[in-house]
């Protein structure tokens, strides 16, 4: 086997077979079977500790058999592993522990080699860590501008700036928000998707309409009837949104008390224009929908996306196209979350880990709770390259 001996095996086997953005065929899809390659490495090299990562949907209801297969296979190979998935996100970690303002729920599977007999007998049924903020951290305190931080230099705007068409979409919906909001008690905009095409006296619902859609259609109709006068004026001002594609005639307001779209983090999604508070952003994805910072009128840069994943500023992507960098980052694992999970596993299983890797126990025990301290040490190769 070409894989050398090692103490720790980390892997993120392809997530597409389990992702909501795919067909969710799990182990029945070719890429899903790469898990068996991991098992072969474990069988041959017998590393002491395992850290696997995948999308949250891996532990969802559509993949219960797949999850059971993964856990059962690891136990058969002699690894003690919990039957309950550990789901975690970097936005739950404080900045002092490598947290980042990105909600990126991922399933982490941690295991220690204890032998098949113990692995099958000592069945654990608890997650390594609960899905909640760590050490009293309040995720609502994240601030993209200062915590990422965002690059304020106007020179970065160029290729990441919004197009005139995108600015028009935002301006029109901003007008909607500022026109309607003062007439709503408490100024609270609807939490359901706002569909301009469904501003009708009578919602278009029949026996073939799915229940979820009927609910939204009914709510949009009621909202329209309550604010008909101002909504009609808004539609008239903007030619009834006739030049807008269907997905841009929809607004998903998830920004609570944020003053307006230009103050929010925006995503141009197939389901509509989504707005969120400028605290933490949704997960980076390997496709489109790069987060737009309304206050700066641009998308986040590759450097800012790298920071969201916990990568230090000395980390370089070479001369490759931005699209490739965004794709790599969208497929990547957040450094702080992976570091925290790995460190917790070792600290909570010291006796078992000590048997298979005393060096790992020593390294983790002496390590800082914050991975950023080590990441700030620029590698010698990078220093030499910069000085050349």
Dihedral angle at the C-alpha atoms of 73, 79, 82, 86, nearest 10 degrees? -90
Instruction: Specify if 345 maps to a domain.
Output: yes
Instruction: Specify if 323 maps to a domain.
Output: no
Spatial distance between the Cα atoms of 249 and 254, rounded to a whole number of angstroms = 16
Say whether both 119 and 18 belong to one domain.
yes
Looking at 9, 15, 266, 292, which residue is catalytic? 15
Say whether both 287 and 361 belong to one domain.
no
Spatial distance between the Cα atoms of 95 and 90, rounded to a whole number of angstroms = 9
Instruction: Specify if 311 maps to a domain.
Output: no
Strand partners, 250: 195
Say whether both 80 and 120 belong to one domain.
yes
Say whether both 132 and 188 belong to one domain.
no
3-class state of residue 180 by DSSP: helix
Say whether both 134 and 38 belong to one domain.
yes
Spatial distance between the Cα atoms of 273 and 199, rounded to a whole number of angstroms = 17
Say whether both 273 and 253 belong to one domain.
yes
Instruction: Specify if 294 maps to a domain.
Output: yes
**Whether 15 is catalytic:** yes
Res. 202 pLDDT band, cuts 50 70 90: very high
Listed in sequence order, the residues at least 6 apart from 147 whose beta carbon sits closer than 8 Å to its beta carbon are: 95, 100, 101
Res. 12 pLDDT band, cuts 50 70 90: confident
Instruction: Specify if 315 maps to a domain.
Output: no
For residue 292, the enclosing domain spans 152-300
Token representation of residue 188: 């609270």
Instruction: Specify if 45 maps to a domain.
Output: yes
Spatial distance between the Cα atoms of 100 and 337, rounded to a whole number of angstroms = 9
Instruction: Specify if 310 maps to a domain.
Output: no
Say whether both 43 and 119 belong to one domain.
yes
CATH of the domain at 113: 3.40.50
Query: Above 90 in pLDDT, residue 385?
Result: no
Task: Give per-residue pLDDT as tens, 267-300.
Answer: 999 999 999 999 999 888 765 568 999 999 999 9
Q: What percent of the chain has pLDDT over 90?
A: 74
Say whether both 348 and 254 belong to one domain.
no
Task: Give per-residue pLDDT as tens, 51-100.
Answer: 999 988 888 777 788 888 899 999 999 999 999 999 999 999 999 999 99
Res. 159 pLDDT band, cuts 50 70 90: confident
Query: Above 90 in pLDDT, residue 154?
Result: no
The predicted structure's pLDDT at residue 378? 63
Phi, psi of 275 (to 5 degrees): -120, 135
Say whether both 293 and 179 belong to one domain.
yes
Q: Which domain-ending residue is among 280, 300, 320?
A: 300
Spatial distance between the Cα atoms of 49 and 343, rounded to a whole number of angstroms = 11
Q: Which domain-ending residue is among 300, 317, 352?
A: 300
Say whether both 293 and 352 belong to one domain.
no
Q: How far is CA 235 from the centre of its chain?
A: 35
Q: How many structural domains compose the chain?
A: 2
Say whether both 18 and 116 belong to one domain.
yes
Say whether both 343 and 254 belong to one domain.
no
The predicted structure's pLDDT at residue 130? 94
Task: Give per-residue pLDDT as tens, 122-137.
Answer: 988 899 999 999 999 9
Tell me, yes or no, if the pTM score tops 0.85: yes
DSSP for 272-324, please give it: EEEEE-SSSBPPP-SSS---EEGGGTEEPPHHHHHHHTT--TT---TT--HHH
Q: Which domain-ending residue is among 300, 319, 340?
A: 300
Token representation of residue 41: 């490495």
User: Do residues 336 and 87 touch, judged by C-beta distance below 8 A?
Assistant: no
Instruction: Specify if 305 maps to a domain.
Output: no
């Amino acid at each position: 086997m070409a894989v050398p001996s090692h103490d720790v095996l980390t892997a993120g086997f392809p997530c597409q077979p389990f992702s909501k953005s795919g067909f969710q065929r799990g182990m029945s899809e070719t890429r899903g079977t790469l898990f068996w390659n991991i098992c072969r490495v474990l069988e041959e090299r017998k590393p002491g500790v395992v850290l696997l990562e995948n999308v949250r949907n891996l532990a969802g209801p559509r993949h219960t058999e797949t999850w059971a297969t993964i856990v059962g296979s690891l136990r058969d190979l002699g690894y003690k592993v919990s039957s309950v998935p550990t789901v975690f996100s970097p936005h739950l970690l404080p900045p002092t522990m490598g947290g980042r303002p990105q909600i990126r729920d991922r399933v982490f599977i941690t295991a220690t080699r204890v032998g098949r007999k113990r692995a099958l007998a000592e069945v654990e049924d608890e997650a390594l860590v609960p899905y909640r903020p760590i050490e009293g951290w309040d995720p609502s305190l994240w601030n993209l501008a200062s915590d990422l931080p965002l690059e304020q230099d106007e020179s970065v705007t160029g290729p990441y700036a919004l197009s005139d068409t995108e600015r028009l979409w935002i301006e029109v919906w901003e007008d909607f928000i500022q026109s309607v909001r003062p007439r709503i008690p408490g100024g609270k905009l609807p939490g359901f998707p706002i569909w301009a095409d469904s501003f009708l006296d009578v919602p278009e619902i029949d026996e073939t309409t799915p229940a979820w859609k009927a609910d939204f259609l009914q709510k949009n109709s009621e909202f329209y009837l309550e604010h008909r006068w101002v909504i009609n004026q808004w539609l008239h001002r903007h030619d009834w949104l006739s030049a807008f594609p269907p997905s841009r005639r929809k607004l998903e307001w998830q920004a609570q008390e944020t003053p307006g779209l230009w103050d929010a983090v925006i995503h141009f999604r197939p389901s509509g224009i989504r707005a969120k508070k400028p605290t933490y952003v949704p997960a980076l994805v390997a496709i489109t929908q790069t987060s737009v910072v309304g206050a700066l009128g641009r998308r986040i840069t590759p450097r800012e996306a790298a920071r969201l994943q916990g990568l230090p500023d000395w980390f370089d992507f070479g001369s490759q196209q931005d699209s490739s960098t965004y794709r790599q980052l969208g497929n990547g694992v957040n450094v702080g979350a992976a570091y925290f999970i790995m460190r917790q596993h070792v600290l909570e299983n010291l006796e078992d880990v000590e048997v298979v890797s005393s060096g790992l126990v020593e390294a983790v025990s002496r390590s800082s709770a914050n991975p950023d301290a080590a990441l700030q040490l620029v590698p010698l190769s990078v220093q030499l390259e910069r000085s050349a």
